[in-house]
Amino acid sequence: MRKSINVEQTVTSRRNVLRGTAFAGAAALTGGAAHASLLSRPMPKTPRMGHSRPVITVESAPDTMAEAAPADLSGLERVRQELVDPPFAPEHEQVASGPPKIVEIEMVTHERLMTVDEDSGASIWALTYNGSVPGPLIIVHQDDYVELTLRNPVESVMEHNIDFHASTGALGGGGLTHIYPGEETVLRWKATKPGCFTYHCAPGGAMIPYHVCHGMNGAIMVLPRDGLKDAEGNPLRYDSIAYFGEQDYYLPRDDNGDFKSYDTAGDDYADSLEAMATLVPTHQVFNGAVGALTGANALKAQVGETVLMVHNSCNVDSRPHLIGGHGNYVWETSFTDPPLTGVETWFVRGGCAAAAMYTFEQPGVYAYVNHNLIIAALKGATAHFVVEGPWDNALMEQVVAPRPFEG
């Protein structure tokens, strides 16, 4: 008996060596446990749905971390940033006063039942940062440190973490922030790159899109220390920020085609994976729900007001368009490159946040949409600005009101 097992192990020893390497990082993180040789048999085919191997592993901390010299942050001032619910932005300076700071923020991973569409009754056990979809907008300046305290309430069902696209190392901090219900962690990272960036939960494997598609994503804006500028280096300032999170949901339906409801977070896991694998969202909305930013919830502005529209889309590509207006200055990726100007429709790459600046010139309703108009009108990705102020006939005039004509 022993003999035949040994023969098998010898035959596949090369594979074991490779596996051992892959697991070395994990072993370092979990206390240096040696992993046994593992000869496993891949499933010939998966029973329920097509399923490729996840390539993203959960553990990611390099074992040199323990030997690293401590960072000297002794001279840095600490400030606390109070995060607020979308579509609003936290209090901040557009031009940084003084040298880089340590900006302390706090986020709590709330799992909560949210209505996605009041008309159909569609709902989801949203996985959130601070209870909102998207998570709160964070604003710092280049070379500031972000010091996040992340808490997972004990009543949570799931493990969470956070991957900041703006940060460097350890899977964006994802490898260092896995917390179970009842745990907290503190991560500090330097904002070296100016721009708007996505952050999101990434617990590993299929749980990554599952958490992201349940709302667990948001944006951080890292401003240049001397503020935003045009291509010539002239300062660009805004009066307000409108923060949009475009969220694709894949809500499971029952046999009658009605959206299913679930008792707790995580209960929809199996159904959800199947729905996500279609790549066809049942809803694609701004700020968590259909109509979250229309009607009584529309954004308000004045003629002459300059608004910076920060648009996060963690998962799907989007092409925002302001119906009746423009993107005067658009930063699709970083603030390092000069902004695009006079843009009709711009692009938000999935897994990215972008900023567009516009000064309203006419009163009335402006629709901010994903200009895939099927997504805007049928899936929900529409927001409204209601702008007050004087009308300018030099820009547009109704010469003849609609009337019948002869002939």
Partner 1 sequence: MLRVITAALAIGVAMAGPAFAEMHEVQMLNRGEAGPMVFEPDFLQIEPGDTVKFIATDPAHNAESIPEMAPEGAETFKGKINEEVEVTFDVEGLYGIKCLPHYAMGMVMTVAVGEVTEVPESYLEGRIPPRARERFDAQRSNL
Residue 151 found at the interface with Cu ion (CB under 5 A):
no
- Indicate which residue of 110, 141, 211, 311 is catalytic: 211
Residue 345 a catalytic site member: yes
Task: Count CA atoms closer than 13 A to 80's CA, side-chain side.
Answer: 4
CB nearer to partner 1: give 17 or 270.
270
* Nearest residue to 224 (alpha-carbon basis) of 122, 143, 125: 143
Is residue 2 packed enough to be buried (19+ CB in 10 Å), middle (13-18) or exposed (0-12)? exposed
Those residues whose C-beta lies under 8 Å from the C-beta of residue 115, and which sit 6 or more positions away, are 121, 122, 123, 289
Q: Identify the bridge partners of residue 285 per DSSP, sorted by sequence position.
A: 247
3-state secondary structure of 212: helix
Residue 201 a catalytic site member: yes
User: What region does 130 belong to: left with phi over 0, alpha with psi -120 to 50, or beta?
Assistant: left
Cβ atoms of 244 and 309 within 8 Å: the answer is yes
Q: Interface with Cu ion by CB under 5 A: which range of 172-180, 196-204, 275-283, 288-296?
A: 196-204
Map tokens 């553990």 to a residue: 59
- Least Cβ distance, residue 329 to partner 1 (angstroms): 42
Angle at 237 between CA 236 and CA 239, to 5 degrees: 150
3-state secondary structure of 181: coil
- Least Cβ distance, residue 128 to partner 1 (angstroms): 16
* Nearest residue to 143 (alpha-carbon basis) of 228, 243, 217, 76: 76
Residues 180-209 as x/- pattern, contact with partner 1 by CB under 8 A? xxx--------------------xxxxx--
Residue 254 a catalytic site member: no
- Least Cβ distance, residue 193 to partner 1 (angstroms): 30
Residue 20 found at the interface with partner 1 (CB under 8 A):
no
Residue 110 a catalytic site member: no
CB nearer to Cu ion: give 179 or 369.
179
Cβ atoms of 191 and 141 within 8 Å: the answer is yes
CB nearer to partner 1: give 182 or 235.
182
Question: Which partner in Cu ion, partner 1, none is near 127 (CB below 5 to 8 A by kind)?
Answer: Cu ion
- Least Cβ distance, residue 211 to partner 1 (angstroms): 11
Contacting residue, 28, 229, 230, 269, with partner 1 by CB under 8 A: 269
Residue 158 a catalytic site member: no
CB nearer to partner 1: give 266 or 364.
266
Contacting residue, 83, 127, 301, 375, with Cu ion by CB under 5 A: 127
* Nearest residue to 244 (alpha-carbon basis) of 126, 328, 95, 132: 132
* Nearest residue to 326 (alpha-carbon basis) of 395, 402, 226: 395
In whole angstroms, how far apart are CA 174 and each of 19, 168, 235, 253, 352?
22, 11, 35, 32, 17
CB nearer to partner 1: give 205 or 351.
205
- Indicate which residue of 254, 344, 388, 392 is catalytic: 344
| Rounded-to-integer distance, Cα 165 and Cα 163, Å | 6
Please list every residue from 21 through 60 that binds partner 1, using CB under 8 A: 23, 26, 30-31, 33-43, 46-49, 51, 53-54, 58
- Least Cβ distance, residue 14 to partner 1 (angstroms): 15
Task: Count CA atoms closer than 13 A to 85's CA, side-chain side.
Answer: 8
CB nearer to partner 1: give 273 or 308.
273
C-beta atoms surrounding 282 within 10 Å = 20
- Indicate which residue of 165, 214, 283, 311 is catalytic: 165
Please list every residue from 342 through 401 that binds partner 1, using CB under 8 A: none
Residue 309 a catalytic site member: no
| Rounded-to-integer distance, Cα 297 and Cα 317, Å | 25
Residue 321 a catalytic site member: yes
Question: Which partner in partner 1, Cu ion, none is near 211 (CB below 5 to 8 A by kind)?
Answer: Cu ion
Residues 141-180 as x/- pattern, contact with partner 1 by CB under 8 A? -------------x-xxxx--------------------x
- Least Cβ distance, residue 352 to partner 1 (angstroms): 26
- Indicate which residue of 200, 283, 326, 384 is catalytic: 200
Annotate 55-77 with b (16+ C-beta within 10 A) or e (fewer).
eeebbbbeeeeeeeeeeeeeeee
Which residues are identified as catalytic? 160, 163, 165, 200-201, 211, 216, 321, 344-345, 371
Binding site for Cu ion (CB under 5 A): 127, 160, 201, 211, 216
Binding site for partner 1 (CB under 8 A): 1, 4-5, 8-9, 23, 26, 30-31, 33-43, 46-49, 51, 53-54, 58, 154, 156-159, 180-182, 203-207, 266-267, 269-270, 273
